[in-house]
Amino acid sequence: MEEKKHLQLNDIEAYKVAFNLSNYAWRLVQNWSNFERDTIGKQFVRAVDSISANLAEGFGRYSKKDKINFFPLRKRFGVRMPGLE
């Protein structure tokens, strides 16, 4: 009998891209001056971090009703989620 493979969060390409983007944004903003970091940098990093966080939160939704309510967010952000469509 073939073992059924369950989809893992790290199997979703959109999550991997968002996670790498978040790490890149952190490294980028760290090199900015204090003024740039405090004005736009913190907001930019929070926004980029929220992409992978929202995907992870949506992945953890188990009931059909939860998924129906949550997944329209991915369309607002223009994210395709193979395996979850």
CA 25 remoteness from chain centre: 13
Q: What is the DSSP string of 17-70?
A: HHHHHHHHHHHHHHTS-HHHIIIIIHHHHHHHHHHHHHHHHHHT--SHHHHHHH
Q: Please give the C-alpha separations between residue 51 and each of 6, 12, 20, 60, 65, in angstroms, as whole numbers.
A: 23, 13, 11, 15, 22
Domain ranges of the chain: 10-76
Residues 31-77: pLDDT tens digits?
A: 999 999 999 999 999 999 999 888 888 777 666 676 666 666 555 55
Closest to 84 measured CA to CA, from 60, 51, 49: 60
Confidence of residue 84 (pLDDT cuts 50, 70, 90): very low
Q: What CA–CA distance (Å, rounded) separates 35 from 82?
A: 40
